[in-house]
Amino acid sequence: MLLMMPKGNKSAVSQFLLLGFSSLEERQVLLFLVFSQVYMIILTSNIPFLAAISVDWSLHTPMYFLLFALSFSETCTTFAVIPKLLVNLLLGNQTISFLGCTAQMFCFFGFRATNCFLLSAMTYDRYMAIRKPLQYPVVITKRVCADLVTISRTTGFLIVLGISSLVFSLPFCGPNAIRHFFCDISLVLRLACSDRHIAEMAIVFLCAFVLLGPFMGIILSYIYILAAILKIHSTPGRCKTFSTCASHLTVVITHFDCAFFVCLIPKSTSPLDEDTFIALSYTFFSPMLNPVVYSLRNQEVKSALRKLTAHTFLSPKM
Task: List the chain domain ranges.
Answer: 15-314
Higher pLDDT, 106 or 229: 106
| % of the chain surpassing 90 pLDDT | 38
The pLDDT, as a whole number, for residue 311 is 66
In which band, very low, low, confident or very high, does the pLDDT at 214 lie, cut at 50, 70 and 90? Answer: very high
Q: For 26-35, 96-105, 301-310, which range has the lowest pLDDT when averaged over its residues?
A: 301-310
Among 77, 164, 155, 91, CA closest to 118: 155
Mean pLDDT of 15-28: 83
Look at phi and psi of residue 92 and say left if phi exceeds 0, alpha if psi is from -120 to 50, else beta.
left
Q: Is the pLDDT score of 76 beyond 80?
A: yes
Mean pLDDT of 285-300: 75
The pLDDT, as a whole number, for residue 122 is 92
In this structure, which amino acid lies at residue 45?
A: S
Higher pLDDT, 306 or 201: 201
In which band, very low, low, confident or very high, does the pLDDT at 4 lie, cut at 50, 70 and 90? Answer: very low
In which band, very low, low, confident or very high, does the pLDDT at 215 lie, cut at 50, 70 and 90? Answer: very high
Q: Is the pLDDT score of 304 beyond 50?
A: yes
Residues 6+ apart with CB under 8 A from 202: 162, 166
User: Cα separation of 104 and 242, whole Å?
Assistant: 38
pLDDT averaged over the chain?
84
In which band, very low, low, confident or very high, does the pLDDT at 240 lie, cut at 50, 70 and 90? Answer: confident
> pTM for the whole thing?
0.87
In which band, very low, low, confident or very high, does the pLDDT at 300 lie, cut at 50, 70 and 90? Answer: confident
Q: Is the pLDDT score of 268 beyond 70?
A: no
The pLDDT, as a whole number, for residue 82 is 94
Higher pLDDT, 257 or 5: 257
Domain 15-314 class, CATH top level: mainly alpha
The pLDDT, as a whole number, for residue 3 is 42
The pLDDT, as a whole number, for residue 117 is 96
- Cβ–Cβ contacts within 10 Å for residue 234, how many? 8
User: Cα separation of 227 and 212, whole Å?
Assistant: 22
For residues 156 and 111, the answer to whether their CB atoms sit within 8 Å is: yes
